[in-house]
Amino acid sequence: MVKNFGEFLLFIQSMVTRTERLKTLWQRTLEESVIIGFDSIFIVAIVSAFIGAVTCVQISYNLVSPLIPKSTIGFMVREMTILELAPTITSIVLAGKVGSSIAGGLGTMRITEQVAALEVMGINSASYLVLPRIVAAILMFPLLVILAMMLSILGGYLAGTLTGAISAQEYIEGLRTDFIPYNITFALIKSVVFAFLVSAISSYKGYFTTGGALEVGAASTGAVNNSIIAILLADFVLAALLL
Amino acid sequence: MIEIHNVQKSFNGNQVLKGITCTFETGKCNLLLGGSGTGKSVLLQCIVGLMQPDIGSITYDGSVFTNNKVQIRQEIRRKIGMLFQGSALFDSMTVYENTEFPLKMLTPEMTKEERRDRVEFCLKRVGLENAGNKMPAEISGGMKKRVGIARAIAPNCTYLFCDEPNSGLDPLTSLKIDELIHEITHEYNITTAIITHDMNSVVEIGDHIIFLHKGQKLWDGNKEEILNAQVPELKEFIFSSSLVRAAKKVDDESEGGLSAITDSTNSQSAGS
Ligand SMILES: Nc1ncnc2c1ncn2[C@@H]1O[C@H](COP(=O)(O)OP(=O)(O)O)[C@@H](O)[C@H]1O
Ligand SMILES: [Mg+2]
């Protein structure tokens, strides 16, 4: 475990020493951004809209007291999704989608000697293959999280009004109650940290794959498992530190 | 010329290379011959710098490669082309982009047009002028090897390394790939090292042959000498193939029988 962590740090270091030209790296980052960001919009949209909807319905089911105003439902949906559900659930979804594709892609490149081919050409393969993936993830995760925030609030709105649990006006009133802008900042900080963890852990798992196709599968699974655990740990640590 | 001096390599106490000293001559196909698991690939990886030898040194035309400064190693690496056992083409890129890749990365001063000319020349040289837009997954094993060769020679390499260039190919395609490597070596005066366990390659293109057995060099010489070598392990290796046994028999019975066989295969292939 400690040995792995040391190797992980060395891996991160090897990536930023003796890098390729910036132009090349930027181009690679854009390519990876499309794969990590654009290609994940659909799954993130579906998941976050439903989470918003379910949160709204369940809160209204639990709020039976006539003393509590209905607008509280809107307020709670906002607080829950912005602070926790949008950044964390989105990142966990992305750990599955992006993490497995990073680890699988790099693992395949490793066992088919494509990584060796880069090294023979004198290219720093860690910098060429991994750095753009990490940067792309750090750029794309926050954008996806913002999308998830908006869509889950919209999902809550639709679910609340269509089931008749709450009126549009009450929901919007709730959304506007006691808004703390720092919560958005906090969620975005979380998303950047999660982006780094998911992309770096998955890259590490994939980059050091040895063996054959079976090990590539194992590397993907390991990448997703470890990323999710890391996300949850970091979620707790960040909440304790920054809230 | 590449000089390898006393290269040793162990993995977890298991000594795979036990002090190998040999040279690869310029403008020749230098064959590393040996059975599976004798450490041929490990030796090649030490030579190109994918692995560090525990002891020993590798010198490229007088400049030391092992444990030298990063800049010098980098400079040597840029002159190295390598064809991998499984071709190792980048599978997200087309054949054209694969060949262009080392040029893009290593010679940023080249313009797009210069690169295009060079890529087209290299693809034509390996007989793939019409396959530029294909993806690696769409082409046959033999074509992949050709793309691998084109990618290796694109930056005008001085040293070419091939790890089992005809593994997984049928005999005719193997022969064509061997010939291509041989021709390119002589055309551009490249120092070529080829790993093989195929006696056909030895007879076809073995300008200089180095026989490895269990991590040691037991013999080296050329293809005329190999059939009369007196090393028991080498004899066992060579004559495991009944075809070679038959050839040897003809050779012994009628003077010059073997050279007749090699000559006829050469002239046949040159004609086709
Ligand atoms: N990275 C490695 N780690 C441990 N052992 C290795 C490694 N690479 C090769 N070996 C061992 O070295 C021996 C020689 O392998 P190799 O050079 O691939 O043989 P071949 O002559 O068939 O190319 C094998 O027994 C293999 O298990
Ligand atoms: Mg091998």
Report ipTM (2 d.p.): 0.86
CB contact (8 A) between residue B90 and residue A123: no
Total length of chain A? 243
Mean pLDDT of chain A: 94
Q: Where does the pLDDT of residue B204 fall: very low under 50, low under 70, confident under 90, or very high at 90 and above?
A: confident
pLDDT at B195 over 50: yes
Residue B33 counted as domain residue: yes
CB contact (8 A) between residue B86 and residue A112: yes
Sheet holding B2-11, edge to edge: B14-24, B2-11, B55-60, B63-64
Residue A174 counted as domain residue: yes
- Of B80, B88, B105, which has the smallest distance from its Cβ to A112's Cβ? B88
Average pLDDT for B192-210? 91
Percent of chain A past pLDDT 90, that is, above it, reads 85
Average pLDDT for B240-262? 68
Residue B134 counted as domain residue: no
Contacts within 8 Å (CB) and 24+ apart, B176-181: B176/B142, B177/B142, B177/B145, B177/B146, B177/B149, B178/B204, B178/B205, B179/B204, B179/B205, B179/B269, B180/B126, B180/B127, B180/B146, B180/B149, B181/B29, B181/B83, B181/B149, B181/B205
Chain segment B135-182, per-residue pLDDT in tens: 999 999 999 999 999 999 999 999 999 999 988 889 899 999 999 999
Would you state the pLDDT for residue A243? 82
pLDDT at B265 over 50: no
Name the residue in chain B with its Cα closest to that of A117: B88
Residue B93 counted as domain residue: no
Residue B99 counted as domain residue: no
Distance of CA B42 from the midpoint of ligand 1 (Å): 6
Residue A5 counted as domain residue: no
Range of the domain at A121: 37-242
Cα–Cα distance between A85 and B56 in angstroms, integer?
58
* Better pLDDT: A50 or A165: A50
Residue A171 counted as domain residue: yes
Total length of chain B? 272
Residue A160 counted as domain residue: yes
pLDDT at A97 over 90: yes
pLDDT at A217 over 90: yes
Tally of domains within chain A: 1
Atom 8 of ligand 1, residue of closest alpha carbon: B42
Would you state the pLDDT for residue A151? 96
Would you state the pLDDT for residue B257? 46
What phi and psi values does residue B254 have, to the nearest 5 degrees? -115, 130
Residue A137's H or E segment, with its range, is helix A131-162
Would you state the pLDDT for residue B262? 53
Residue B175 counted as domain residue: yes
Residue A206 counted as domain residue: yes
Question: Is the Cβ–Cβ distance between B131 and B144 less than 8 Å?
Answer: no
Q: Is B89 near chain A, with CB under 8 Å? A: yes
- Chain A nearest-CA distance from B197, in A, is 20
Chain segment B80-90, per-residue pLDDT in tens: 999 999 999 99
Mean pLDDT of chain B: 88
Range of the domain at B206: 2-79+158-271
Would you state the pLDDT for residue B181? 94
Residue A8 counted as domain residue: no
Would you state the pLDDT for residue B229? 86
> Beta strand pairing status for B55-60 and B216-221?
unpaired
- Chain A nearest-CA distance from B204, in A, is 27
Model confidence, pTM: 0.89
Residue A14 counted as domain residue: no
Question: Is the Cβ–Cβ distance between B226 and B212 less than 8 Å?
Answer: no
Best residue of B45, B70, B84 to probe chain A, by most A CBs closer than 10 Å: B84
Would you state the pLDDT for residue B8? 95
pLDDT at B270 over 50: no
Would you state the pLDDT for residue B259? 53
Residue B121 counted as domain residue: no
Chain segment A39-83, per-residue pLDDT in tens: 999 999 999 999 999 999 999 999 888 888 889 999 999 999 999
Residue A95 counted as domain residue: yes
Distance of CA B70 from the midpoint of ligand 2 (Å): 27
Residue B72 counted as domain residue: yes
- At B272, which amino acid appears? S
Q: How distant, in Å, are the alpha carbons of A237, B21, B73, B88 from that of B47?
A: 47, 12, 11, 18
Average pLDDT for A110-116? 95
Q: Where are the alpha helices (DSSP H) in chain B?
A: 40-48, 70-77, 95-106, 112-125, 141-153, 171-188, 199-205, 223-226, 232-238, 242-253, 257-271
CATH of the domain at B15: 3.40.50.300
- B88 CB neighbours in chain A (<8 A) are 112-114, 116-117
Q: Mean pLDDT check: name the lowest of A94-98, A100-104, A108-112, B105-109.
A: B105-109
Distance of CA B37 from the midpoint of ligand 1 (Å): 6
Residue B183 counted as domain residue: yes
Q: Where does the pLDDT of residue B267 fall: very low under 50, low under 70, confident under 90, or very high at 90 and above?
A: very low
